[in-house]
Chain A
Amino acid sequence: MDFRFDLIMDYAPLFLKGTLLTLGLSLAGIAIGTALGLAIGLGKMVKNKWLSLPFDLYITFFRGTPLFVQILLIHFGLVPLFTGKTEPVTAAILALSLNAAAYIAEIFRAGIQSIDKGQMEAARTLGMTHVQAMRHVILPQAFKRMIPPLGNEFIVLIKESSLAAVIAAPEIMYWGRAMQGQYFKVWEPYITVAVIYLVITLSLSFLLNRLERRLSTE
């Protein structure tokens, strides 16, 4: 087996473009998924069963079905329904965000509920409203505990953005498959792709570790 670095160099500009799109898809997914996840997580914590039901159903659907299926449904079904045509990047961002939101909602809920109820009581006896106590006492502590599971979820999201290749969103994996098709080579494209993903996910873990250490109070 001779490993053709020159072919990888040929494809380097395309891999670079693909990497930028992967980063874009991931960042959009993380941002939208986190905002949506917080809202859904709070929604699911509402005591009234009928009010929390839609949030519950949302989480059940997006956690219980494969992301692959969700991407296809959104790409070929949902997006054309509204715009009249297929838009791979829009569909990919939408699918990744909606999917991540379901997991992130559960991370938020678990984080908030893991804070000792004495914290809420102490805040309330000082005269704080429920919202003030949440904002100044509960959420800052819960957020710290959410960092590791959120980090996991972000890493999963980055990797799963590779599924966007099947709807022809030109991210890293898309160019890997293109290169395989062009040169009938397997190792060169896919090892390159794997290394790029690894660099992205390792950088993210590094940043999250630093954040976690900075927030430590011990």
Chain B
Amino acid sequence: MIKVSNLKKSFGTNEVLKNINAEIQPQEVVVVIGPSGSGKSTFLRCLNLLESVTDGHVYIEGVDLTDKSVNINKVRQNVGMVFQQFNLFPHKTVIENIVMAPVKVKKVDDEVALQKGLDLLRKVGLEDKADAYPDSLSGGQKQRVAIARALAMEPKIMLFDEPTSALDPEMVGEVLEVMKQLAKEGMTMVVVTHEMGFAREVGDRVIFMDGGYIVEENVPEELFTNPQQERTKSFLSKVL
């Protein structure tokens, strides 16, 4: 479903991703962990071309995003993304945030989009907040709205960029719960996170990144209990 080959990314002279190769299967939940500055967020942002790719290829369902003739807007409709800072649109109500893209981009009928939006809000447990503005919500609620907003486009893949890192500890659970539910329903997910518990419980595979490389990847149980690389061991000993 996603294939990354020889991906390199530089900011000026700073090479952040050095040579990344990865493949992600449909319905797979891949969790990316690693120290700050290891390139994991940049890697994720290359998967929908929020960052331009310096070298190498990124394929989403066989389409090469680095091909200049590809309509990236079309591809992005199938790839939802959730950000650390939520990035809800503050001038729109919760339900307007959710229906905006389906209506403006996919030209979905207003009424259909509204019903679908309310269903999604129910799914994330916020149906009573439909007419609230984002500023009046807690961090956990904002992030759940952001997930609903991304799901409204009916994406086949969901990318999560440290979705719980900006949350108060007591709100982390409610967001992870929604993500767990999503994984259970068979969504293909790539999650950059520091939540090792989530990685272990929900992840089908864990990728450990450091210094712009994928250092090690394995099923969670193996990676956490029996890491092969020194670098992985020392990282895990600090975070577990």
Chain B residue at minimum C-beta to C-beta distance from A144: B91
Partner of B73, one of A127, A141, A217: A127
A124 to B89 alpha-carbon distance, docked (Å): 12
Assess whether B95 is interfacial by the CB under 8 Å rule.
Answer: no
Say if the beta carbon of B224 comes within 8 Å of chain A.
no
Residues of B near A127 (CB, < 8 A) are 73-74, 76-77, 101, 105-106, 153
Nearest CB in chain A: distance from B31 CB, A:
20
Quick check: B135 and A126 within 8 Å, CB to CB?
no
Interface of A is mostly: helix
A119 CB within 8 Å of chain B: yes
> Nearest chain-B residue to A142 (Cβ)?
B91
Q: Within 8 Å of chain B (Cβ to Cβ): is A6? A: no
How many inter-chain contacts with C-beta < 8 Å in the A-B complex? 68
A sample of 12 more A-B contacts (CB under 8 A), given A125-B150, A127-B101, is A116-B85, A123-B101, A124-B50, A125-B76, A126-B76, A127-B74, A129-B73, A136-B100, A137-B89, A141-B89, A144-B91, A217-B135
In chain A between 94 and 135, which residues have their CB closer than 8 angstroms to a CB of chain B?
116, 118-119, 121-129, 132
Of B81, B91, B150, the residue contacting A217 (CB under 8 A) is B91
The smallest beta-carbon distance between A194 and chain B, in angstroms, is: 39
Check: B80 CB closer than 8 A to any chain A CB.
yes
What bracket does the count of chain B residues touching chain A fall in? 20 to 34
Contact B104 A132 (CB under 8 A): yes
Whether A122 contacts B105 by the Cβ 8 Å rule is no
Which residues of chain A are within 8 angstroms of B91 by Cβ–Cβ distance? 140-141, 144, 215, 217
Q: Does A218 contact B (CB under 8 A)?
A: yes
The residues of B with any CB-CB pair to A shorter than 8 Å are 48, 50, 73-74, 76-77, 79-81, 83, 85, 87-91, 100-101, 104-106, 133, 135-136, 146, 149-150, 153
Cross-chain pairs A/B with CB under 8 angstroms, 24 sampled: A116-B87, A118-B83, A118-B87, A119-B87, A121-B83, A121-B87, A122-B87, A122-B88, A123-B101, A124-B76, A125-B50, A125-B80, A126-B76, A126-B77, A126-B105, A126-B153, A127-B74, A127-B105, A127-B153, A128-B73, A129-B73, A132-B104, A217-B90, A218-B133
Per the bound structure, the CA–CA distance linking A132 and B89 in Å amounts to 14
Report chain B residues within 8 Å CB of A215.
Answer: 91
Q: Are A118 and B85 in contact (CB under 8 A)?
A: yes
Instruction: Report the Cα distance A218→B136, complex, angstroms.
Output: 7
